[in-house]
C-alpha cells in the first residue's frame, strides 16, 4: 500500500542530508557470501551485521529469510513507521 506523506522534494532532500550527517561509515570485514539467494542482498546483510542493526528495512521480505541467526529481522517500511509511531 502506498501512502502520500505530503513531503516535498526539499523535505526529502533534507531527510537524506540528515541521514548522511548522522550516519557512520562502516568497513565490512566479514564476508558471508553466498548466504542469500540474491548476491546484492548479501551485501546489505553484511553491512547490517557490521553496523549492528536490528532491522533490514525492505519491500523484499521474502529474500531475507533465515537472517535470524544474525540477530536481524527484515521489516517493511510501513512496519518501520509503525514502530516509530508515525502511522497506524
pLDDT in tens, 71-82: 999 999 989 888
Structure confidence at residue 1 (pLDDT): 45
DSSP assignment of the chain: --------HHHHHHHHHHHHHH-----------S-SSSHHHHHHHHHHHHTT-SEEE-S-GGGGTT-GGGT-EEE-HHHHHHHHTS--
Query: Is residue 2 in some structural domain?
Result: no
Domain span holding position 20: 9-84
Query: Is residue 37 in some structural domain?
Result: yes
Query: Is residue 65 in some structural domain?
Result: yes
pTM comes to 0.67
Over residues 25-34, the pLDDT tens digits come to: 777 666 666 7
Over residues 5-50, the pLDDT tens digits come to: 788 899 889 989 998 899 887 776 666 667 788 888 888 998 898 8
Query: Is residue 4 in some structural domain?
Result: no
Query: Is residue 30 in some structural domain?
Result: yes
Structure confidence at residue 87 (pLDDT): 57
Q: Rounded to an integer, what distance in angstroms lies between the CA atom of residue 48 and that of residue 57?
A: 10
Number of domains in the chain: 1
Amino acid at each position: 500500500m502506498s501512502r502520500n506523506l505530503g513531503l516535498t522534494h526539499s523535505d526529502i532532500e533534507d531527510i537524506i542530508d540528515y541521514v548522511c550527517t548522522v550516519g557512520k561509515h562502516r568497513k565490512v570485514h566479514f564476508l558471508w557470501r553466498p548466504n542469500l539467494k540474491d548476491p546484492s542482498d548479501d551485501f546489505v546483510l553484511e553491512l547490517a551485521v557490521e553496523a549492528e542493526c536490528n532491522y533490514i528495512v525492505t519491500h523484499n521480505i521474502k529474500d531475507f529469510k533465515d537472517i535470524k541467526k544474525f540477530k536481524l529481522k527484515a521489516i517493511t517500511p510501513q512496519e518501520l513507521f509503525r514502530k516509530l509511531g508515525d502511522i497506524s
